[in-house]
A and B are shown apart, each in its own frame.
Chain A
């Protein structure tokens, strides 16, 4: 099958392909899942043991390795949703809508970890769980925007219209991710530190990274972006294929 044919192939392949994919794909997914689980354990070790302790903030600074890594994973997941949305609009192949939906669901949960771990870090460092800082506010807007995506999907019956609307929304919603990412560079009044590169003038809680800290951050970001996020998205796609197969069978009855 050529790349173009694969891109535009219909939603329902033979039943065994809908439920479990090809044996090779299943094998790759199992390997990826094992790597993701092992990677998660390695990431915990890197963040909790390998990286040195920050002398000013104490051990709470170690949250940073998961806070940033989950945002990296979320960024990849939301970016995947954009790719899926664009490809759906171009090809009208539902497989790309499945990719988009899966990317957003996984990205949403990873962003939830980013948001809550940030609050936990802020309590001892900023002496508050929450403040309406530009970065934090935008992060909240981003989460609410993606929460609305699920409401949008549930408002339509299955079909092309639902998928088109969801694809357009997935593409536009990514603006909030970009804004959340760059706000600390363009707004000097934020108190959120930019650990990599120069920090805003009012940043509070920043620290200089040592070599072990840089390594732990890099490895955790890699694990969340390249192992955990793709594995979760792939499993979520499988689930969606099963839902579609069930709907297909239900329609036949």
Chain B
């Protein structure tokens, strides 16, 4: 049987990598949107 462990590892890097990048991008975009809303609300109050 051929050793295919390295390909499994590569596959896992892909799965974890894409999931983490997407979840991370969601978190960052939500934080940025909150900051934007706070800024706009401050401007509105002024």
Contacts and interface: CB of A to CB of B under 8 A. Distances in A.
Interface centre among A57, A59, A124 (most CB of B within 10 A): A59
Interface string B1-23: 11111011011101100110011
Contacts of A113: 14-15, 18-19
Contact of B11 (A58, A112, A120): A120
A214 to B, nearest CB: 19
Contact of A246 (B1, B4, B37): B37
Interface residues of A, number: 38
Contacts of B8: 59-60, 62-63
B36 A246 contact: yes
Interface stretch (A87-95, A149-157, A232-240): A232-240
Contacts of B44: 249, 252-253
Given A242-B33, A249-B44, A120 B2 contact: no
Nearest to B14: A116
Given A124-B2, A239-B26, A245-B33, 4 more contacts: A57-B4, A60-B5, A60-B8, A235-B26
Q: Top 9 closest A-B pairs, CB basis? A: A60-B4, A242-B33, A58-B4, A63-B11, A249-B40, A60-B7, A59-B8, A120-B11, A109-B22
Interface of A: 19, 40, 48, 55-63, 66-67, 70, 106, 109, 112-113, 116-117, 120-121, 123-124, 232, 235-236, 238-239, 242-243, 245-246, 249-250, 252-253
24 contacts: A19-B34, A40-B19, A55-B1, A58-B1, A58-B2, A58-B3, A58-B5, A59-B7, A60-B11, A70-B15, A106-B22, A113-B18, A116-B18, A117-B14, A117-B15, A123-B7, A124-B4, A235-B26, A235-B30, A246-B40, A249-B37, A249-B40, A249-B44, A253-B43
